[in-house]
């Protein structure tokens, strides 16, 4: 069956290439996000992004979402009743494409009155150096999907976020009883050890996905803000 790939949008506005593509085969189509020529994610394998949203539990409240991607985490948070979501995205063009509704899911997020999309660096924000005007916590929950995980960094400067000090600094942006969920390309024993040293009820959930006839185990980590939080 003939397959066609359409580039919906492409930009190098932030110093790196980002492209939104649609792959069409017969009556089937999928959207893809490409960064610097490398595949980042697509709409056919979005289960782990949905699990990331569900990790905050029912009635997630006011949530900070780090990384817009194709919008599946943010969209699911809205579906399960988040009262407000603040999405912080490093790519200005991706925010603009969402506002233009270039894909159904991105358009759904951008048009929801409970959602705000802001350009900025969520890792810097969580480190206690706010650089996003008008964005204030604390939040009831935080979902992070800004790297491929603590051992698979996209941005090397984000390494500080996955240290015990970085985790505690991030948790300080939560209301008491709040929870943070983190997406990872695979399990990390060191990161898991650090989380459980902060919160003995931290969890690791593996999500199996098929990619290019190969099974992969993505990991979703959750950690609760302890009553006594030393930063």
Q: What is the CATH number of the domain that holds 116?
A: 3.40.50.150
Total of domains in the chain: 1
What is the pLDDT confidence band of residue 212, given thresholds at 50, 70 and 90?
low
Q: Residue 209 domain-assigned?
A: yes
pLDDT digits (tens, 9 = 90+) for 96-109: 999 999 999 999 99
Provide mean pLDDT across the span 79-86.
Answer: 97
Kindly report the pTM of this predicted structure. Answer: 0.93
User: Which helix H or strand E contains 79, and what residues bound it?
Assistant: helix 72-79
Cα–Cα distances (Å) from 62 to 58, 75, 109, 153, in that order, read 12, 14, 15, 27
Torsion, CA 58, CA 139, CA 18, CA 147, rounded to 10:
-80
CA–CA separation, 103 and 152 (whole Å): 27
Domain that holds residue 193: 44-224
| 33 pLDDT higher than 90 | yes
Work out the percent of the chain whose per-residue pLDDT is above 90: 69
Q: Residue 189 domain-assigned?
A: yes
Torsion, CA 164, CA 169, CA 172, CA 177, rounded to 10:
-30
Q: Residue 153 domain-assigned?
A: yes
Q: Residue 60 domain-assigned?
A: yes
CA–CA separation, 97 and 108 (whole Å): 12
Q: Residue 133 domain-assigned?
A: yes
Q: Residue 134 domain-assigned?
A: yes
């Amino acid at each position: 069956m003939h397959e066609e790939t359409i580039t919906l949008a492409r930009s190098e506005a932030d110093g790196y290439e980002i492209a939104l593509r649609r792959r069409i085969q017969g009556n089937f189509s999928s959207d893809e996000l490409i960064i610097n020529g490398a595949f980042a994610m697509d709409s056919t394998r979005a289960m782990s992004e949905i699990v990331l949203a569900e990790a905050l539990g029912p009635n997630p409240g006011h949530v900070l979402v780090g990384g817009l991607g194709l919008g599946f985490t943010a969209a699911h948070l809205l579906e399960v009743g988040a009262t407000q979501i603040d999405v912080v995205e490093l790519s200005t063009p991706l925010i603009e494409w969402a506002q233009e509704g270039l894909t159904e899911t991105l358009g759904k997020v951008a048009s929801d009155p409970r959602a705000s999309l802001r350009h900025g660096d969520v890792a810097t924000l969580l480190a206690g150096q706010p650089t996003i005007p008008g964005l204030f916590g604390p939040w009831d929950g935080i979902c992070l999907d800004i790297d491929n995980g603590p051992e698979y960094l996209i941005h090397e400067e984000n390494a500080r976020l996955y240290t015990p000090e970085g985790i505690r600094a991030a948790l300080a942006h939560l209301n008491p009883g709040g929870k943070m969920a983190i997406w990872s390309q695979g399990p990390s024993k060191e990161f898991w050890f650090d989380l459980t040293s902060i919160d003995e009820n931290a969890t690791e959930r593996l999500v199996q996905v098929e990619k290019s006839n190969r099974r992969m185990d993505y990991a979703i980590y959750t950690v609760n803000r302890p009553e006594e939080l030393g930063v």
